[in-house]
Chains A and B, each alone.
Chain A
Amino acid sequence: MARDLAHLSDEALVALVARSDEAALAELYDRFGRVAYGLALRIVRDPALAEDVVQEAFLSVWRSAGRFVAERAKASTWLLTLVHRRAVDLVRKEEPRRGEPLETAPQATGDATDDEAWLRLRRAQVQEALRRLPDQQREALELAYYGGFTQSELADRLGQPLGTIKSRMFSGLARLREILTEMEEPWTTRPSES
């Protein structure tokens, strides 16, 4: 790579992508490709479909980076929201056995690089935060986010009124935010930026 992009913020990379900078797109992929793939795989539960989801999400970034407003959202939020949205769209069309464990859970591979360690740390923190939620709120968040269920589907599945499901999701997400804020760090940076 001709230039060193590693020191740029995620948001700066998106700004470069908006100017059709391919190297910036590649750098974004290197930063978020793994977590994007992991998320897509957890939702669509099929490696080939997950790859499609990731490819489409990054191409969305490529096509619409000019619309990204850094003041409104973090680049990572935007990107992962795109991945999630595509995965959920797909899983709603395909209707596989959502919300059930993968038969062969993929193992994290690779050596203990900084990246690997950073992803593990983050995962541990999100897991800890989820663990501190009331069970019903956690259940609603997990089924919605990882299972791709709509609020109405969740109400049916859990045999609860829609209003209850809405409340659980709202309170759960609000509480999760508080917990993660209390835990602080390292939500803003990753090793390659420092």
Chain B
Amino acid sequence: MDHETVRELTAAFALDALDTNEEREFEDHLAHCEQCREEVAVFQEVAALLAYDVETPTPAPTLRERMLEQARSERPNVVPLRRRWAVPAAATLAAVAACAAIGLGIWAASLSSRLDRERTASAQQAKVIPISGAEGSLLVLPSGQATLVVSMLGRAPDGKTYEAWVIEGGKPKPAGTFPGGEGPVAVALTRPVAAGAVVAVTLEPGPMAQPTGKPLFSATV
């Protein structure tokens, strides 16, 4: 699933507000992403409290009996069930990086409770580098894998796309295009970044080998 869309879906998922396809895609993502699973758990706990804002008439006593009777008839309860969020041995780095981005940057910004600050402080060994020219940050894992997180970027105009660049020794190399969109955007760069490199984003007519637009914002590793 496109990581740009992941962040806000955690809430919709917790509210059971995704349709079948969206939900399947989101669950595929969760299988790779411990951080998103944690965040879903937090939201599910809040959502479940909404259950208490209801009238609570006493259900018919027969319901209790019927349920227990049915349970008894199903013994022993050894129905094998697929583990919903089984984590594959090797979750892709991109997925991990995107989740780190969500966990470190956006989540901390939107939820300021102590719990989240603690989690932010201790989470991952990713370096978090502020972006100049836009609100957001660049996350760099020790391997050099990097994810750009920008809030409120907006969708690229028709016929245009955002393109990320890794600039080393004054030479920009393409690091992926992305459409942008409403809300925060998390983009896994397609090439690793080394210390001293600059990551910049321009608006381009399509995937380019060399930038033609002006840098919209940048971050220095």
Tell me if A105 and B55 are in contact (CB < 8 A).
yes
Tell me if B50 and A141 are in contact (CB < 8 A).
yes
A166 contacts the other chain (Cβ, under 8 Å)?
yes
Within 8 Å CB of B183, what residues of A?
A: 163, 166-167
B56 contacts the other chain (Cβ, under 8 Å)?
yes
Within 8 A of A (CB), among B1-43: 7-12, 14-19, 22, 37, 41-43
Tell me if B77 and A20 are in contact (CB < 8 A).
yes
Per the bound structure, the CA–CA distance linking A107 and B71 in Å amounts to 30
Query: Which residue in chain A gives the minimum CB-CB distance to B84?
Result: A67
Tell me if B110 and A141 are in contact (CB < 8 A).
no
Within 8 Å CB of A67, what residues of B?
A: 81, 83-84
Per the bound structure, the CA–CA distance linking A77 and B14 in Å amounts to 11
Within 8 Å CB of B9, what residues of A?
A: 166
B72 contacts the other chain (Cβ, under 8 Å)?
yes
B58 contacts the other chain (Cβ, under 8 Å)?
yes
B169 contacts the other chain (Cβ, under 8 Å)?
no
Query: Which residue in chain B gives the minimum CB-CB distance to A84?
Result: B16
Within 8 Å CB of B55, what residues of A?
A: 38, 41-42, 105-108
A150 interface neighbour in B8, B17, B60, Cβ under 8 Å = B17
Contacts A20-B77, A119-B52; is A55 near B11 (CB within 8 Å)? no
A81 interface neighbour in B7, B48, B53, Cβ under 8 Å = B48
Counting chain B residues whose Cβ lies within 8 A of the other chain, the interface size class is 35 or more
Within 8 Å CB of B18, what residues of A?
A: 150-151
B90 contacts the other chain (Cβ, under 8 Å)?
no
A39 contacts the other chain (Cβ, under 8 Å)?
yes
Contacts A77-B45, A180-B46; is A58 near B67 (CB within 8 Å)? yes
Tell me if B15 and A173 are in contact (CB < 8 A).
yes
Tell me if B56 and A119 are in contact (CB < 8 A).
yes
B208 contacts the other chain (Cβ, under 8 Å)?
no
Per the bound structure, the CA–CA distance linking A149 and B112 in Å amounts to 29
Query: Which residue in chain B gives the minimum CB-CB distance to A152?
Result: B19
B133 contacts the other chain (Cβ, under 8 Å)?
no
Supply 15 A–B pairs (Cβ within 8 Å), ascending by A: A50-B59, A58-B67, A63-B79, A123-B56, A126-B50, A141-B50, A151-B12, A151-B22, A163-B181, A169-B12, A174-B11, A176-B46, A178-B111, A180-B49, A187-B49
Which 9 pairs show the lowest CB-CB distances between chains A and B? A163-B182, A38-B54, A166-B8, A37-B59, A38-B56, A170-B11, A80-B48, A144-B17, A77-B48
Q: A36-B51, A174-B111 are in contact. List 15 more A-B contacts (CB 8 A).
A: A29-B68, A34-B59, A41-B55, A59-B71, A59-B74, A64-B79, A65-B77, A84-B51, A109-B57, A144-B12, A151-B18, A167-B182, A171-B110, A173-B15, A177-B46
Residues of A bordering B, CB below 8 Å:
20, 22, 25-26, 29-30, 33-39, 41-42, 50-51, 54-55, 58-59, 62-67, 72-74, 76-77, 80-81, 83-85, 88, 105-110, 119, 122-123, 125-127, 130, 141, 144-146, 148-152, 154, 161, 163-164, 166-167, 169-174, 176-178, 180-181, 187
